[in-house]
Amino acid sequence: MANKTRNVFLSGVGGQGTILASNILGQALLNAGYEVKKAEVHGMAQRGGDVTTHFRFGEKVYSPLIKQGEADFLVSFELLEALRYINWIRPEGKVILNNQTILPPAVNLGKMKYPDNVEQTFRTHFDNNVWVVNGREIAKSLGNSQVANVVLIGALSKFFPELSLDQWTGAIQELLPARLHEINVKAFHEGRKQINK
């Protein structure tokens, strides 16, 4: 398994912190000796558009892009943006959903409906491989709603037993200014607690 390239697909809405989340993931895996590649589309994202990150790691990674149907993990920061990429996940893939909805314009205007029962749709297809995390509430309870992204990375970290906790917290410390270390490390540990396996 260690030699195989693994794929993490991250999706969300501009401003939710997906880029920092994938940077932490990348640094932790680099610290653990993997090659990592990640692809993002910037540009219009800041204006409330959807954002995605293709994240791949292994011994040797060629393409920076994940093939449709081959994501080992979907980590989504918003429920509609999770559903939009449901077809990218492998049948045995794992899904981490942040339990947050941000209404897109067509729903704001009352012209379309926000999809119902997103969690249930995922459970229908991925059974017990679906975890729902209240990232925003957890982050708020820690005193900063912006660290929801790191809560989700904490949750994801439970699926990488080959990485030590120091490799993860080290990555957080390398990437963030000192004044933000404590709250982000806390958010990371809270995220880990959300996954019981």
Task: State the nearest-atom distance from the C-beta of 46 to another protein, in Å.
Answer: 7
Task: State the nearest-atom distance from the C-beta of 159 to another protein, in Å.
Answer: 21
Kindly tell me which of 61 and 132 has the beta carbon lying closer to another protein.
61
For 88, residues 6+ apart whose C-beta sits below 8 A from its C-beta are 9, 66, 68, 69, 70, 71, 74
Kindly tell me which of 72 and 81 has the beta carbon lying closer to another protein.
81
Kindly tell me which of 136 and 186 has the beta carbon lying closer to another protein.
136
Interface residues toward another protein, by CB under 8 A: 13-14, 23, 26-27, 30, 35-50, 61-70, 80-81, 83-84, 86-88, 91, 103-110, 112-115, 121, 125
Kindly tell me which of 48 and 181 has the beta carbon lying closer to another protein.
48
Kindly tell me which of 84 and 158 has the beta carbon lying closer to another protein.
84
Say how far apart CA 162 and CA 158 lie, in whole Å.
10
Burial 69-101 (b: 16+ CB within 10 A, else e): eebbbbbbbbbbbbbebbebbeeebbbbbbebe
Task: State the nearest-atom distance from the C-beta of 147 to another protein, in Å.
Answer: 16
Say how far apart CA 15 and CA 148 lie, in whole Å.
11
Task: State the nearest-atom distance from the C-beta of 74 to another protein, in Å.
Answer: 12
Say how far apart CA 68 and CA 114 lie, in whole Å.
24
Task: State the nearest-atom distance from the C-beta of 160 to another protein, in Å.
Answer: 17
How far lies 189's CA from each of 45, 111, 113, 182, in Å? 29, 40, 35, 11
